[in-house]
Amino acid sequence: MRKYVPKDNVQAKSYYTDRFWVAPRVPRSTVEDTHFLAVVEAVGTQANETYVELGQLVIHINPKNNFEVMKTLKEKCGYTQCSEQSAVDYLAQDNEFELFWQLLNINEAKRIRVICRLANGLAIESIEPLYKSANFAEREMFDMFGIKVNNHPFLKRILMPDDWEGNPLLKTYPLQGDEFASWYEVDKIFGKEYRDIIGPENRDPAKIDTEDTKRFSRVGYEVPFGADISEGETKTAIEYSETFLVDYNKNSSKQLDERR
Amino acid sequence: MQVANKLSPFFENLNFERDDNTMVINFGPQHPSAHGQLRLVLELDGEQVVKAYPDIGYLHRGIEKMAENMTYNEFLPTTDRLDYIASTSNNYAYALAVEKLIGVEAPRRAQVIRTMLLELNRIISHLFFVATHALDVGAMSVFLYAFREREFAMDLMEDYCGARLTHSAVRIGGVPLDIPKGWLENAAAFCDKVDYEVEHTYEALLTENRIWKMRLEDVGVISAEDALSWGCSGVMLRGSGVKWDIRKEEPYELYPELDFDIPISDRCDSYGRYKLYIEEMRQSTRIIRQLIPMYKDTKPQLMAHSPQYISAPKEEIMTQNYALMQHFVLVTQGMRPPKGEVYIPTESPKGELGFYIKSEGEPYAYRLKCRAPSFFHTGLLQKLLVGTYIADVVTIIGTTNIVFGEVDR
Amino acid sequence: MAQHQVNYASSAGLPIALTSVDKLVNWGRSNSLWPLTYGLACCAIEMMASGASRYDFDRMGTIFRASPRQADVMILAGTLSKKHSEFARRLYDQMTEPKWVISMGSCANTGGMFNTYATVQGVDRIIPVDIYLPGCAPRPETLQYAMMMLQKKIRKESADMKKNTKQDLTTQTGKRARLI
């Protein structure tokens, strides 16, 4: 029977999971009596959920007011740097993306993470007017997930070529790429008509083409290029192993006591 | 867009027919001073840059996608190829993030070794910076001298882990190997050598050199607010007068016990950053010297004891049944960290290198995001280059110290 | 150069002048191989190291050039991504004949550990390769060894580059095509 592969998530899966296995969760603590209390009060009702996870405050917000929350955090709480921002694909489970912003307060050495859930197909407001680092980070998010960003100055693909198809970090995108990806360089350089001549990609790094006598011939069985080896090769003496060490004499060489 | 193939090549290098009298010039992606595969599209008015557009992605290899398809231990050697000039700092940042997620702490000897390797990598990276920056600006001899010292540091790395460039010298939960015999003495000798050469070669050749100063002073000026807003970190931030070093402010590993200074510069230009790199090398040798006596008081345990996540030492695997079973499960299935998400920043030689890991309790990370300092420094180029002259472009690219394995991932 | 054969008449071979031009030309070609600094990724650092102080490449007549017009051999050091592939091919086309290619490192040879959507699975898909240098990253000594192997290969070749077979590609249908 053919193995079942879910279409909505083609990433690697564990081949065996105990039926009774329940994954534990990293402990979360409440914000009370931590130094993040002022931040939570400043954000106020715009925060849906707040907790502290592994020493960093996590704030869940609505995607609609991400700009206002960031503005509050930057201007009232001193979070002057947005060190990272990206998304997580939850399309298979909830048809949503989880977006996160990692903010840093340099003066007090505090980090918080702002999280929102954005439904598939909706766009998020750009925070580029507040944090210039979002210029590249949002372009990368657009490139990798296809999440549109409103009011971004230059929303174009950044890592993949402009004429690329598909968003690589989606869970539906296979690791080794789709058909477009596998022929990309051939189509671009030579044209589609060269696909036949060049042939498909060899994704098996251990594959050895025994017919390819020029590049991969077996050691000791080398034959001239293009020779017909369907009848089997004849064994030849290995030339280099004898000549390589022929003059090696330990007495004549001097070993340095230390590296100069 | 024109479809380019062999028969109809597509020349976008120069475009003269424009109404606004500016010239568009293409720089890279294969240029000797592009530090890898940076492509810059520059709009020039005379010799002055009026618009710069960094085009990246020429080394995009899908490392974040690979992380979703590999178990946590499998992925570790891939992190070598992020910032390939200082591999151990990537290994360490990744290992630390996973360790925080699973809640283990490396034993003390492993911590000493890790800190030594991190600082050694910092010296390697900074020497490389001095070499390539000087080569870009035009001082060829400094390149040769700096590579000479860098080879000694590579020898030390090679003695420890067997690799010159892609070390994988850190594991999740500790380090794989103990320090070989005579390594500490070599490391101490290397520190002396670096200190001597920094003072008598690089500083003597460059710091007061008239040409060097003219090429670097007041080039690539970035204010503190801009540096923060553009997501700069590391030397780019300290060169603008912001005192921020993750080793001091959010300490990890043995850094709280060590005595070292964080040099800052308020010159905001390339020359100030060059001075910081030189000074940081001295601080790194100072750290390594302090760590050598600390190593001698540690117990020989190298990997943390945490059977659920980390394999037992080899002797136990070979002698005890349960350890062998656990090892088998960990190798074939991989560790399953608890559900949760973690973002851990570390101070790599280039700046803030952090890993965001989202775990769903599976042996594969649900999402791994590598926060690479160079990525944001490349984004800064579109601000930094505007208004400068074309002769300074290479200096500014050099001073940001970007490495493209990290930018494109 | 010292290996001159004098009894061409008795062996009834090619005219004496042509054979020695071959040798003379190949001697010149093989001893001043100027590579194009085509550093792409990690291997580029090792390529730089082989040009720098300890593994001084200049003593072998190998001087790195920054322009494809001045280069004889392209050392493709590192991962070639699909976005970059057209530039690699263009630089190869810009090099003047005779030209050779060394594919340095696992990523350039076969795609290596980056078996992903964004990486070209072996640069021989787009340019013909003469020497495959394994390793991740190969040490500078091995790059020097690869250069010596290339010299050995050039000395065996004909001076007329049209006679030298480059890499052949076998199609699915069994017909062979030449990647020039």
Q: What per-residue string of b and e applies to A14-27 under the rule 16 or more CB within 10 Å gives b?
A: eeeeeeeeeeeebe
Which structural domains are found in chain B, ordered by start? 63-371 (1.10.645.10)
**CA–CA separation, B249 vs B87, rounded Å?**
23
Which residues in C lie closer than 8 A to residue A225 (C-beta atoms)?
Answer: 165
Per CB-CB distance under 8 Å, the chain B contacts of C41 are 36, 59, 81, 84, 404-405
Average pLDDT over residues B75-91: 90
Residue A194, classed as helix, strand or coil, is helix
- Per-residue model confidence as pLDDT tens digits over B278-337: 999 999 999 999 999 998 888 888 888 888 899 888 888 889 899 899 999 899 888 999
Strand extents, DSSP E, B173-323: none
Peptide bond into B29 cis (omega under 30): yes
Residue A226 contacts C, CB cutoff 8 Å: yes
Q: How many beta-carbon pairs below 8 A join chains A and C?
A: 79
Q: Is A165 an 8 Å CB contact of chain C? A: no
> What's the token pair of residue B391?
């002769």
Specify which residues C168 forms β-bridges with: C178
- Find which of B58, B83, B403 to mutate to test the C interface (most C CBs within 10 Å of its CB): B58
Whether residue B339 and residue A89 make contact (CB cut-off 8 A), yes or no, is: no
Give the closest-approach CA distance of C55 to chain A in angstroms: 13
Domain extents in chain A: 28-150, 174-229
**Closest CB to C83 among A160, A200, A225:** A160
Greater pLDDT, C8 or B132: B132
Helix (H) or strand (E) holding B42: strand B39-45
Contacts of B62 in chain C (CB under 8 A): 114, 116-119
pLDDT band at B6 (very low <50, low <70, confident <90, very high): low
Query: Mean pLDDT of all residues in chain B?
Result: 87
C38 touches chain B (CB under 8 A): yes
The pLDDT confidence band at residue B356, using thresholds 50, 70 and 90, is very high
Long-range contacts of C85-88 (CB under 8 A, 24+ apart): C85/A184, C85/A185, C85/A188, C85/A189, C85/C120, C85/C126, C86/A185, C86/A188, C86/A189, C86/B4, C87/B29, C87/B30, C87/B58, C88/C38, C88/C123, C88/C126, C88/C127
- Kindly indicate the confidence band of residue B89, based on its pLDDT and cuts at 50, 70 and 90: very high
**Given the structure tokens 């502290």, which residue do they identify?**
A52
Using the predicted structure, report yes or no on whether residue C77 has a pLDDT greater than 50: yes
Rounded to whole angstroms, how far apart are CA atoms A35 and A21?
Answer: 36
- Give the ipTM: 0.85
* Nearest C-alpha in C relative to A165: C117
List chains adjacent to chain C, taking adjacency as at least 3 C-beta pairs closer than 8 Å. Answer: A, B
Cross-chain Cβ contact A174/C82 below 8 Å: no
Q: Report the Cα B132 to chain-centroid distance in Å.
A: 15
pTM: 0.87
Measured from the Cβ of residue A165, the count of other Cβ atoms closer than 10 Å reads 10
Mutation pick from B1, B2, B5 vs chain A, by most beta carbons of A within 10 Å, is: B5
Q: Which whole-number Å values give the CA distances from A174 to A8, A119, A182, B207, C165, in the listed order?
A: 10, 22, 11, 51, 38
Chain B to chain C Cβ contacts (< 8 Å)? 96
| Subunit contact C113:B78, Cβ cutoff 8 A | yes
Distance from the C170 Cα atom to the nearest Cα atom in chain A, whole angstroms = 7
Task: Give strand pairing partners of B210.
Answer: none
Chain B nearest-CA residue for A192? B5
Per-residue model confidence as pLDDT tens digits over B29-38:
887 777 778 8
Q: In whole angstroms, what is the distance from residue B173 CA to residue B92 CA?
A: 10
Average of per-residue pLDDT across B7-35: 66
How far does the CA of residue B85 sit from the closest CA of chain A (Å)? Answer: 21
| Ramachandran sector of residue C61 (left: φ over 0; alpha: ψ -120 to 50; beta: rest) | left
Of the residues C38, C50, C81, the best mutation for testing chain B's interface (the one with the most B CB atoms within 10 Å of its CB) is C81
CATH of domain A28-150: 3.30.460.80
Q: Chain B within 8 Å of C53 (Cβ-Cβ)?
A: yes
Subunits touching B (CB < 8 Å, at least 3 pairs)? A, C
Q: Residue B318: what are its φ and ψ, rounded to 5°?
A: -80, -20
| CB–CB contact C79 B144 (8 Å) | no
Chain A partners within 8 Å of C132 (Cβ): 215
**Per-residue pLDDT band at B115 (split at 50, 70, 90):** very high
With a cut of 50, say whether residue C176 has pLDDT above it.
no
- Decide if B36 and C41 are in contact by the 8 Å CB cutoff: yes
Query: Contacts of residue B361 in chain A, CB cutoff 8 Å?
Result: 23-24
